[in-house]
Amino acid sequence: MKIFSVLSFSILALLLSTCDEAPKETWGSPIMYSKGFIGWDCPDNLKFPRVDLKDWYKVPVVNGRLPTLEETQNGTSLLFINIEMKPDIKDMQPFKMTLPKLAYFNNPTTHKKELVIVIQLVQFSDYVWAGLRYISGGNASAIMSDLHFLTDNEIKLEIEKSAKVNSLGVLNKPSGY
């Protein structure tokens, strides 16, 4: 609960700009309570468009440092914690992993395993907070324990599967549309 009180004010503005709805205090809303953790799920956020899976590694990220507010507003990052407003946050740092990474996310909202691009990892004393982009567009956050990072073989299989689906094409629209 300590993390909630410390982070709530700092991420409120980000949550409001991240989802098209105001945060609510229920499990199925952008603020989810799990192990004292705050997260959100916004698969319909058009600020984060669909990513062609073969180009997943080109998604912009911030590596080796915490992002600026501008980087959270331009889509390079998702998690901004204003240390100037909350100087008592001492245990926070970027997680040491080169990003982006592909992962499966055990989504507590949909109860499905979803393919995501991890664009940010923030280390706290007792967990790692992840900023995620859905391949199909939108974004979410999660704790790292809800992620399974893909191996090179798994990435290759996902890209091949995506190419097959995309090669099937789409139905032509009737004239006049």
Q: Could you tell me the pLDDT band of residue 23, with boundaries at 50, 70 and 90?
A: very low
173 assigned to some structural domain: no
What pLDDT, on the 0 to 100 scale, is given for residue 152? 97
What pLDDT, on the 0 to 100 scale, is given for residue 40? 83
User: In which residue are the tokens 């709530």 written?
Assistant: 8
The domain tally of the chain equals 1
H/E/C letters for each residue in 67-108? CCHHHHHCCCCCCCCCCCCCCCCCCCEECCCCCCEEEEEEEC
146 assigned to some structural domain: yes
> Cα 168 vs. chain centroid, distance in angstroms?
29
| Whole-angstrom distance, CA of residue 19 vs CA of residue 72 | 13
The C-alpha angle 27, 15, 132, rounded to 5 degrees, equals 80
More confident residue, 25 or 92: 92
63 assigned to some structural domain: yes
Q: Could you tell me the pLDDT band of residue 38, with boundaries at 50, 70 and 90?
A: low
Confirm if 132 and 121 have CB atoms less than 8 A apart: no
Domain range enclosing 95: 2-167
9 assigned to some structural domain: yes
What pLDDT, on the 0 to 100 scale, is given for residue 110? 84
What pLDDT, on the 0 to 100 scale, is given for residue 19? 62
What pLDDT, on the 0 to 100 scale, is given for residue 140? 93
More confident residue, 34 or 167: 167
172 assigned to some structural domain: no
Measured CA to CA in angstroms, residue 77 lies from 8, 49, 97, 121, 171 at distances of 18, 14, 15, 10, 35
| Whole-angstrom distance, CA of residue 140 vs CA of residue 104 | 13
Q: Could you tell me the pLDDT band of residue 154, with boundaries at 50, 70 and 90?
A: very high
**What's the pTM value of the predicted model, to 2 decimals?**
0.75
- Residue 67, by phi and psi: left (phi above 0), alpha (psi -120 to 50) or beta? beta
- Looking at 15-19, 42-46, 106-110, 146-150, which range is the least confident one? 15-19
